[in-house]
Chains A and B, each alone.
Chain A
Amino acid sequence: GPKVLQIPSHQIIDMGQMVTLNCDPVSNHLYFYWYKQILGQQMEFLVNFYNGKVMEKSKLFKDQFSVERPDGSYFTLKIQPTALEDSAVYFCASSLTRGDSGNTLYFGEGSRLIVV
């Protein structure tokens, strides 16, 4: 089936440094998402993105977070600066149309971020 690729799969970074998580969504999809899963907890919605803009974000999407998809390339999540509580697995997803309208969200395998 359709694949969402995430790079890197794992990253260890010093607190205060910047990190960029990359997502290669399904090729014809238009809606993009990031979810965060802290160890032992559920996946939580961070942000969705459509037509070059953030449509909705949760309270977990701190000011240090940003997303973009320049020129149809990777959909990225940037954290600058990182904090210890940013340690989590970050899942990217994409959908052809609005995911809440019953249209399937396709997820990547996650990027495990460890902030030390």
Chain B
Amino acid sequence: GQQVKQSSPSLTVQEGGISILNCDYENDMFDYFAWYKKYPDNSPTLLISVRSNVDKREDGRLTVFLNKSGKHFSLHITASQPEDTAVYLCAAGASSSFSKLVFGQGTSLSVVP
């Protein structure tokens, strides 16, 4: 089954608005959570990550929220810009499992004027 799930395949947001991308996971052993950004025919690039000992991490316009009891984490992008248009992949890993990140299917974000 899908251990990491992004239920929204696509999202459209107005320029200047807040983009909220969601990810659910199943494995209680996951203790590392990350968001990757991917342009077509390009490599996935790490945007931001958190470990399970925090429930929020901010980096500029990006904030990751982690809800361990709900097995859910999200990425908020404030002041969304057209260049934020891309596919966003969530990923989770367990330090007990050697370097094996589990990815979601991705959410395609479109930021429109």
Q: How many residues of B contact A (CB 8 A)?
A: 26
A109 touches B98 (CB 8 A): no
Q: Please, which residues of chain A bring their CB within 8 A of the CB of B101?
A: 45, 99-100, 105
Indicate which residue in B43, B97, B102 contacts A110 across the interface (CB closer than 8 Å).
B43
What residues of A have a CB within 8 angstroms of the CB of B46 in the complex? 104-106
Pull 8 A–B residue pairs with CB atoms less than 8 Å apart, ordered by A: A1-B45, A31-B99, A41-B105, A48-B99, A55-B98, A58-B100, A102-B51, A107-B44
Tell whether, in the assembled complex, residue B43 and residue A56 are in contact, meaning their CB atoms are under 8 Å apart: no
Q: How far is the CB of A47 from chain B (nearest CB, A)?
A: 10
B105 closest partner in A (C-beta)? A42
Besides the contacts A98-B95, A109-B41, what 17 more A-B pairs have beta carbons closer than 8 Å?
Answer: A33-B99, A42-B89, A44-B103, A45-B100, A48-B98, A56-B97, A91-B44, A95-B99, A99-B101, A100-B100, A101-B95, A104-B46, A104-B49, A105-B101, A107-B36, A107-B43, A107-B45
Interface size on A, residues (CB 8 A): 28
**Once bound together, how far apart are the Cα atoms of A31 and B93, in whole Å?**
15
Using CB atoms and an 8 Å cutoff, list the residues of chain B in contact with chain A: 2, 4, 32, 36, 41-46, 49, 51, 89, 93-95, 97-106
Q: With both chains docked as a complex, state the minimum distance between the C-beta of A4 and any C-beta of chain B, in angstroms.
A: 7
A102 and B13 CA atoms in complex are apart in Å by 30
